């Protein structure tokens, strides 16, 4: 098991980010859903928890094959996804992910479940949002007070993202919001900027397979860190698109984008299944 605590500051308030993070997740998922990959929304509905109250439960399938390193692609199926469930009780959220494979092509087993080659893989993320600059060292005392973990600050302005995801229009060093006047963040902005909030994310990765555990857990944390950095940059860079939205507005936007994204992913997914079955038939 490898646990890290990520802290990502934003030039927003927690209340503003409630709209921004929903908008960002929906738009980002749609943009990334190409070549049969990306995010398919299976379930998105209100949910009530006895401890946390009213929230939203979302279940997604995150297709990942082309995003894996070559050593992992060699052993996973062509159609490969992580099942993600998120319980959003803003400003507190829980996300759990487990890995599954699609039923195989002709001549193979039709069973759907945890992959035999990744039997003990999981990601657990707990998130809390506060209006501060990442200074609360006891925010996860209830969840992980005595557990060893590295605290990692992610700076949306100065940390580098993978080159293929870089867009100058989404770079907080250059972007300036027309509606809020915020932006063009300079080095050290977290010390002086107002307003400021922080996303605290406690991320636990487990891959209990001898010989691969350390390599896989470190790789997954690298992927998680990149996703957090890109997503928070986009949430701020798109602020003028969502800033005037109400919760009803963003829920309607979310619904429409989920429908478009599912169509996009499923059409490509069907094409990939046809390709696999065609190859399987040709070999018989």
Residue 151 lies in a domain: yes
188-235 pLDDT per residue, tens: 999 999 999 999 999 999 988 788 889 889 988 998 999 999 999 999
Res. 240 pLDDT band, cuts 50 70 90: very high
Residue 64 lies in a domain: no
Quote the pLDDT of residue 75: 52
- Rounded to 5°, angle at Cα 139 from 134 and 142: 165
Quote the pLDDT of residue 42: 86
Give the integer Cα–Cα distance in Å for 133 and 115: 41
**Beta strand 80-89 with 38-49: parallel, antiparallel or unpaired?**
unpaired
118-128 pLDDT per residue, tens: 557 888 999 99
Q: Which residues, 6+ apart, have CB-to-CB distance to 75 below 8 Å?
A: 117
Residue 185 lies in a domain: yes
Residue 93 lies in a domain: yes
Phi, psi of 15 (to 5 degrees): -65, -40
25-66 pLDDT per residue, tens: 999 988 877 655 567 888 889 999 998 899 999 988 777 655
User: Count of domains in the chain?
Assistant: 1
In the predicted model, is pLDDT for residue 172 greater than 50? yes
- Model's pTM, two decimal places? 0.83
3-class SS of residue 272: helix
CATH (domain of 237): 3.30.530.20
Quote the pLDDT of residue 3: 96
Q: What is the domain extent for residue 172? A: 2-35+87-100+118-263
């Amino acid at each position: 098991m490898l646990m890290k605590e990520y802290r990502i500051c934003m030039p927003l308030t927690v209340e503003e980010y409630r709209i921004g993070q929903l908008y960002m997740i929906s738009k980002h998922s749609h943009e990334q859903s190409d070549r049969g990959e990306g995010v398919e929304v299976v379930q998105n509905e209100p949910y009530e928890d006895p401890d946390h109250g009213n929230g939203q439960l979302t279940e997604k399938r995150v297709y990942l094959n082309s995003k894996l390193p070559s050593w992992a692609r060699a052993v996973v199926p062509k159609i490969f996804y992580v099942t993600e469930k998120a319980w959003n009780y803003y400003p507190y959220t829980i996300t759990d992910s487990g890995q599954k494979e699609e039923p195989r092509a002709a001549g193979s087993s039709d069973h759907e479940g945890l992959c035999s080659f990744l039997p003990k893989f999981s990601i657990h993320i707990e998130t809390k949002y506060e209006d501060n600059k990442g200074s609360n060292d006891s925010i996860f005392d209830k969840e992980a007070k005595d557990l060893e973990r590295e605290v990692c600050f992610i700076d949306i302005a100065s940390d580098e993202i993978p080159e293929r995801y870089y867009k100058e229009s989404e770079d907080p060093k250059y972007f300036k919001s027309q509606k809020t006047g915020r932006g063009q963040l300079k080095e050290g902005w977290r010390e002086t900027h107002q307003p400021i909030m922080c996303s605290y994310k406690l991320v636990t990765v487990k891959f209990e397979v001898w010989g691969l555990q350390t390599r896989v857990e470190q790789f997954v944390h690298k992927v998680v860190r990149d996703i957090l950095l890109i997503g928070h940059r986009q949430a701020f860079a798109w602020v003028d698109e969502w800033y005037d939205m109400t919760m009803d507005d963003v829920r309607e936007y979310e619904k429409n984008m989920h429908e478009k994204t599912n169509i996009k992913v499923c059409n490509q997914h069907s094409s990939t299944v046809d390709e696999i079955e065609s190859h399987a038939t040709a070999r018989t």
